[in-house]
């Protein structure tokens, strides 16, 4: 696969990968982060970090999350950003490979709460391209920021129906706020 874009110039960010359509996405993304020398982190249920897996999970970039904790997992991850000098948290905002194009909002609340940018990444199997976009700093206006993210994805993968749906979702949010 050919690579587009460049490594983010910021030490901490939320790395969003979309569209998430295949189990092969992980392999393609591993190549991207290796090429750009980015040490990715991921979220995992805290019980996955028990012995004998503790060191392995942390060495792989895992961040344990207690979902039942007061304030939820979002605050746990914001706290992890506060403690780290560098952190590239990888999130699949669609939540699953079978998404209709609607995104979950946790990635946004984490980035905004931690005061770090969102860096969009993609795998386009049709063009055999993987890429990274420029950092997008969340402003607190979810609809406007999501529209910027959708515009990026529509620019790099204009025929992807999931991004057409994401773009439509931002218009729906506009109408609801209207």
Please write the tens of the pLDDT for every residue from 112-125: 999 999 999 999 99
Burial class (CB in 10 A: 0-12, 13-18, 19+), 151: middle
| Alpha helix stretches (DSSP H) within 1-71 | 25-35, 54-59
Look at residue 69 in the predicted model and tell me its pLDDT: 65
pLDDT in tens, 51-73: 998 888 888 888 887 767 666 77
Q: What pLDDT sits at residue 30?
A: 84
Report the C-alpha gap between 9 and 31 in whole angstroms.
19
> What phi and psi values does residue 164 have, to the nearest 5 degrees?
-65, -45
Whether the Cβ atoms of residue 153 and residue 24 lie closer than 8 Å to each other: no
What is the model's pLDDT at position 168? 85
End-to-end CA distance of the chain: 43
Average confidence score pLDDT of the chain = 87
Per-residue confidence (pLDDT) for residue 157, from 0 to 100:
92
pLDDT at 101 over 80: no
Radius of gyration in angstroms for the set of CA atoms belonging to the chain, rounded to a whole number: 16
The pLDDT assigned to 67 comes to 67
3-state secondary structure (DSSP) of residue 2: strand
């Amino acid at each position: 696969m050919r690579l587009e874009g460049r490594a983010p110039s910021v030490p901490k960010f939320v790395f969003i990968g979309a569209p998430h359509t295949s189990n092969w996405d992980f392999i393609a993304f591993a190549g991207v982060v290796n090429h750009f020398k980015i040490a990715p982190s991921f979220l995992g249920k805290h019980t996955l970090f028990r012995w004998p897996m503790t060191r392995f999970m942390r060495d792989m970039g895992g961040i344990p999350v207690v979902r039942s904790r007061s304030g939820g997992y979002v605050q746990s991850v914001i706290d992890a950003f506060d403690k780290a000098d560098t952190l590239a948290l990888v999130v699949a905002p669609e939540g699953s490979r079978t998404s209709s194009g609607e995104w979950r909002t946790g990635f946004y609340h984490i980035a905004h709460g931690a005061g770090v940018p969102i860096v969009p990444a993609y795998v386009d199997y049709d063009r055999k391209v993987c890429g990274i976009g420029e950092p997008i700093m969340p402003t607190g206006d979810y609809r406007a920021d999501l529209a910027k993210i959708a515009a990026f994805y529509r620019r790099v993968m204009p025929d992807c129906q999931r991004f057409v749906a994401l773009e439509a979702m931002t218009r729906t949010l506009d109408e609801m706020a209207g």
